[in-house]
Amino acid sequence: MDRSVTAHGFRPDDLVRIRRDTFVQCVEHHRDIASTNTRALSLAEEPGLALPALVLTDLQTAGRGRGANRWWSDRGALTFSLVVPRSHVEPLSAGWTRMSLTTGLAVGEALQQLRPGLELGLKWPNDVYVRSRKIGGILVEVPPRAPDRVVVGVGVNVNNSLACAPAPVAELATSLIDVTGYAFDLTVVLVQMLRHIADELTALARADSALARRWTVFCMLTGRQVRVAAGQRITIGTCQGIDESGALQVDTAHGPQRCLSGVVTVLGGD
Ligand code: BTN
């Protein structure tokens, strides 16, 4: 299973395979880079760029997360960004939550397929969890000078053990190697993820009404007591799932509420 991808990173034949076996039309590969999303935001400004374009790195040194968050990664992690046409993926755009959820769902489906039995879940709006630990995150951004395109960044801890991570990260996160004990071929994992992302973004583009049900089924918060903090607004109650607009549905003491953004804390332990 492991052919030392962790040591050597992606090779030219891996890049050929990614283009051949997925919807990606061009690949830009870096041995290391600060942030694939930052690079993809610049690349997206090139008018003749073949889409979807993939920016891929063996090592991301200054990954960005949602808001002011940073994304820690190490060799053996999957960190990549896709540039996709906006019209293709989200004709009815009402914020980017739907795209984050759809990408998170696709990442979870790919991991599930690679390792059946993993207790995977989506933590609204942009995280993928295994049990109570974060294994992946999604960052959707619009290039300011190319608003007809969208950058979808994906970070997943695969062969990078969290034993090497800074303590605050290690306490909350995990990786595939940590939960399974196996190292994975990163190209296989990436190809699987890109295929699922292609399928799910197509479902999003045609406004497939089944998506909300799939988000809800995959949502680790459904049925749990949650606290959603969005600036000064705090919503506390039982999560009922995710609606078609991508909003988190919460049953509170004052009736049902829809949360369009915010940071969620699960109340009452794992
Ligand atoms: C989050 O947890 O808030 C989202 C994390 C997203 C991380 C990925 S890694 C690839 C891409 N490049 C970045 O700088 N960030 C995203």
pLDDT single digits (tens) 181-213: 999 999 999 999 999 999 999 999 888 889 999
pLDDT computed for residue 230 by the predictor: 93
Average pLDDT over residues 167-175: 96
In this predicted structure, the answer to whether residue 90 has a pLDDT above a threshold of 90 is: no
The Å distance, Cα 54 to ligand 1 centre, comes to 14
In this predicted structure, the answer to whether residue 4 has a pLDDT above a threshold of 80 is: no
Better pLDDT: 90 or 123? 123
The amino acid at 98: R
pLDDT computed for residue 92 by the predictor: 46
Atom of ligand 1 nearest to the CA of 134: 2
The Å distance, Cα 251 to ligand 1 centre, comes to 30
- pTM comes to 0.94
Which residue's CA is the closest to the ligand 1 atom numbered 16?
153
Task: Give me the sign of the Cα torsion angle 196, 180, 185, 84.
Answer: positive
The Å distance, Cα 137 to ligand 1 centre, comes to 6
**240 CB-side CA count, 13 A:** 13
The Å distance, Cα 35 to ligand 1 centre, comes to 8
Atom of ligand 1 nearest to the CA of 80: 10
In this predicted structure, the answer to whether residue 95 has a pLDDT above a threshold of 70 is: no
CA distances (Å), 262 to each of 18, 99, 134, 157, in order?
A: 35, 16, 17, 24
Measured distance CA(109)–CA(113) in Å, rounded: 6
DSSP output for the chain: ---SHHHH---HHHHHHHHHHSS--EEEEEEEES-HHHHHHHHTT-TT--SSEEEEEEEESSEE-STT-EE---TT-EEEEEEEEHHHH-TT-SSSHHHHHHHHHHHHHHHHHHSTT--EEEETTTEEEETTEEEEEEEEE--TT-TTEEEEEEEE-SS--GGGS-HHHHTTB--HHHHHS----HHHHHHHHHHHHHHHHHHHHTT-THHHHHHHHHBTTTTSEEEEEETTEEEEEEEEEE-TTSPEEEEETTEEEEESS-EEEESS--
The Å distance, Cα 34 to ligand 1 centre, comes to 11
Q: Which residues line ligand 1 (CB under 6 A)?
A: 35-37, 60, 63-66, 69, 71, 79-81, 126-127, 137-139, 153-155
